[in-house]
Structure 1
Amino acid sequence: MNMLQTKTVGQMVTQNVKAAHVFKKYNIDFCCGGGISIQKACDRANVSFEDVAQDLQNLDHIKDRATDYNNWELDFLIDHIINIHHRYVEESIPMLVQYGTKVAKVHGDGHPELLEIQALFAMVATELSGHLRKEELILFPFIKKMLQSKTENTELAHPQFEKVDNPIKMMEAEHEEAGEILRKIAKLSNNYTPPEGACNTYRAFFSKLDEFEQDLHHHIHLENNILFPKALQLEKTIQYSE
């Protein structure tokens, strides 16, 4: 018998708080309903135990992603940013909103900082959602057009934003705004340290916020320090049509 079958949901989250995110993904109650076995919880939620167990076993699995980002082709780097970091943001925001709403409702009276954290995250979630769309629909496709123009040695029509540094400056400013909001959240949460005796949802909320900030830091690094400077250099090598 798989040891995970008999371990309770609550025990798993206590052992590794990141397990809460797996249970949340499968709509398994890990807080109030955490006293039952993972097998029983899967049965109640009508989900595959094997799928849940696989995700739990991969929680701390370190993947080799060939991370020599600086030598990647720009179109490949763009696809990586979208498929890994943009998707992560989109998948994490609903989960964090649910965590924040529940924790603020239950613990907000005793910990009023949770209400401010909830409001700040709602703000950064809205800003990032619009930000990702601008990158995916405007800036990133244009960078790919520049690559194609260089490869085919053809002229490129001027974009509405005139030069690529205009949207890049906007994206960098928005990165700074998002980073500042998350710095405020980190300060309010004592660097994502839950109080003594915090429930599993409280702990999961702070753990996920910490993970979210770390991912965003890496995400912004790839854009600000690798993609954007290379896009500016690429623009110097292409010809715009009159």
Structure 2
Amino acid sequence: MNIAEERTVGEIVKDDYRAAQVFQQYKLDFCCGGNRTIEEACAKKGIDPQEVYQALEQLGQAGSKKDNYDQWSLDFLVDYIVNNHHGFSRNKLPEIGKYAKKVAKVHGDRHEELHDIYHEFTMLHADIFNHLDKEERILFPYIKELVEAEENGTKPDKPDFEEAANPIAMMEDEHDEAGSSMEKIRKLSNDFTPPEDACTTYRLLFENLEAFEKDLHKHVHLENNILFPKAIELEQQLN
């Protein structure tokens, strides 16, 4: 994988999502913090960037299949995000919430951080459901209207929010907040590492939190680095 030093981590993952596994390995943020170069991202974490470049090069030599999300039509990408990532969040978050509540109640005396994890996750759960609702009711239908206008050779109706950049800025701020919440939970859980006395539910909680974080990173990447910039560009072209 040939990586130019001036490219951001978000751009690299946009072109080849396989790079996400390398950035996840080194705990480099490619979604909310996707506007940094590899050197900038590594400097923040105290990592040698040459290690990351080498891992990306080895990934490119592997020749495995890559998903070209950047080449998908915007309406198809919207449906993919809703069906896969919004669906995953709506199904998984209530389940994780039950685990977090039970584990905090049973093990919170010995592991006080579980109460903080439950509190942080409860707020995150509510915020994300509200966030998904706003995207599906307001922003995503407008993006589909833009695609339809392009196909029909017409101009889209002006939305109440004036232009796509306005709700997109709000969605990106909320992405940052969700990412920060998951970062707090990761630290509180010692990188989702259960203690030796953890029961099955305790371990399931951490496994599911880690799986949700992984899905969230991809979810935010598809929106912040692909869907949103392309929607703004399309709107400008049509107007």
TM-score by length of structure 1 reads 0.71
State the AA in 2 paired with 1:112: E
Paired residues for 1:59-138 under 5 Å: 67-138=67-138
CA distance, structure 2, for counterparts of residue 233 and residue 65 of structure 1 = 28
CA distance, structure 2, for counterparts of residue 163 and residue 152 of structure 1 = 20
Matched positions, count: 176
CA distance, structure 1, for counterparts of residue 65 and residue 72 of structure 2 = 12
In the other structure, the counterpart of 1:206 is 206
Give 5+ residue unaligned stretches, structure 2: 1-63
TM-score by length of structure 2 reads 0.72
CA distance, structure 1, for counterparts of residue 170 and residue 94 of structure 2 = 25
Q: Do 1:99 and 1:202's aligned partners in 2 also have CA atoms closer than 8 Å?
A: yes
State the AA in 1 paired with 2:182: L
CA distance, structure 2, for counterparts of residue 65 and residue 104 of structure 1 = 41
CA distance, structure 2, for counterparts of residue 162 and residue 80 of structure 1 = 26
CA distance, structure 1, for counterparts of residue 172 and residue 197 of structure 2 = 39
CA distance, structure 1, for counterparts of residue 237 and residue 152 of structure 2 = 12
State the AA in 2 paired with 1:211: A
In the other structure, the counterpart of 1:171 is 171
How far is the alpha carbon of 1:150 from its aligned partner?
1.1
State the AA in 2 paired with 1:225: N
How far is the alpha carbon of 1:197 from its aligned partner?
2.5
State the AA in 2 paired with 1:74: L
State the AA in 1 paired with 2:227: L
Deviations 1:207-227 (A, max 9, x none): 000000010000000000000
Paired residues for 1:1-242 under 5 Å: 67-239=67-239
Instruction: Say which SS state the counterpart of residue 100 (structure 2) adopts.
Output: helix
How far is the alpha carbon of 1:66 from its aligned partner?
6.7
State the AA in 2 paired with 1:156: P
Q: Do 1:120 and 1:181's aligned partners in 2 also have CA atoms closer than 8 Å?
A: yes
CA distance, structure 2, for counterparts of residue 189 and residue 164 of structure 1 = 37
Deviations 1:160-191 (A, max 9, x none): 00010000000000000000000000000000
Distance 1:162 1:65, change over 3 A: farther
Deviations 1:28-63 (A, max 9, x none): xxxxxxxxxxxxxxxxxxxxxxxxxxxxxxxxxxxx
Q: Do 1:150 and 1:237's aligned partners in 2 also have CA atoms closer than 8 Å?
A: no
CA distance, structure 1, for counterparts of residue 78 and residue 194 of structure 2 = 36
CA distance, structure 2, for counterparts of residue 201 and residue 233 of structure 1 = 46
CA distance, structure 2, for counterparts of residue 165 and residue 144 of structure 1 = 15
CA distance, structure 1, for counterparts of residue 89 and residue 135 of structure 2 = 14
Deviations 1:49-99 (A, max 9, x none): xxxxxxxxxxxxxxx997210100111100000000000000011101110
State the AA in 2 paired with 1:195: P
Q: Percent identity?
A: 51
In the other structure, the counterpart of 1:17 is none
Instruction: Say which SS state the counterpart of residue 211 (structure 2) adopts.
Output: helix
How far is the alpha carbon of 1:236 from its aligned partner?
1.2
CA distance, structure 1, for counterparts of residue 235 and residue 76 of structure 2 = 18
Q: Do 1:104 and 1:114's aligned partners in 2 also have CA atoms closer than 8 Å?
A: yes
